[in-house]
């Protein structure tokens, strides 16, 4: 079994590699071709589907929808030209900080 970070890194490298690919041959290239509004809309749809799945007992269906949400979120990150490190660095920055302290830091900035 691959580690979560390996899977995310390999998937993100694939997403980057689809820049300039044929939209007819690649779903990710078709999303890039549609642009940020269409990708963000997919993120919203997948978030809504994840919320609905979270309220049901089917773990497989929930994980499936959550994977769709993560996948489209990563496409959005790649579309903006940001490396995966920007996301992992932001999450790492929050280590050792309680959620309450993180919220206080946001509201004071
Ligand atoms: N992980 C994924 C992945 N997860 C979900 N999806 C696609 O995301 C879409 C989910 O949208 P929906 O649930 O709304 O289903 P849909 O109705 O078919 O989608 P729409 O036509 O409405 O956009 C489906 O088309 C799925 O096939 C993915 N498509 C691709 N990947 C990865 O991305 C890589 C590159 O894909 P290509 O660009 O197609 O080569 C692949 O090798 C995979 O590793």
pLDDT at 109: 63
Tell me the pLDDT band of 108, cut-offs 50, 70 and 90: confident
Which of 8, 45, 71 for mutating ligand 1's site (highest number of atoms within 8 Å of CB)? 71
Distances (CA, A) of 25 to 12, 21, 29, 33, 95: 18, 8, 8, 12, 40
Predicted ipTM? 0.91
Which of 9, 14, 25, 27 for mutating ligand 1's site (highest number of atoms within 8 Å of CB)? 27
- What is the residue extent of each domain of the chain? 4-108
Residues 6+ apart with CB under 8 A from 6: none
**Domain range 4-108, its CATH number among 3.40.190.290, 3.50.50.60, 3.30.70.330, 1.10.287.1080:** 1.10.287.1080
Return the SS3 of 59.
Answer: helix
**Mind listing the pLDDT tens digit for each residue in 8-48?**
999 999 999 999 999 999 999 999 999 999 999 999 999 99
By alpha-carbon position, which residue is closest to atom 17 of ligand 1? 42
Distance from C-alpha of 26 to C-alpha of 94, rounded to nearest angstrom: 35
Distance from C-alpha of 77 to C-alpha of 36, rounded to nearest angstrom: 10
**Mind listing the pLDDT tens digit for each residue in 60-96?**
999 999 999 999 999 999 999 999 999 999 999 998 7
């Amino acid at each position: 079994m691959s580690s979560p970070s390996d899977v995310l890194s390999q998937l993100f490298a694939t997403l980057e590699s689809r820049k300039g690919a044929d939209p007819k041959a690649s779903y990710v290239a078709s999303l890039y071709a549609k642009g940020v509004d269409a990708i963000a809309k997919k993120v919203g749809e997948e978030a809504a589907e994840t919320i609905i799945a979270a309220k049901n007992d089917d773990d497989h269906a929930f994980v499936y929808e959550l994977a769709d949400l993560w996948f489209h979120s990563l496409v959005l990150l790649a579309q903006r030209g940001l490396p995966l490190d920007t996301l992992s660095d932001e999450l790492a920055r929050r280590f050792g900080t309680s959620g309450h302290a993180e919220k206080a830091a946001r509201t004071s900035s």
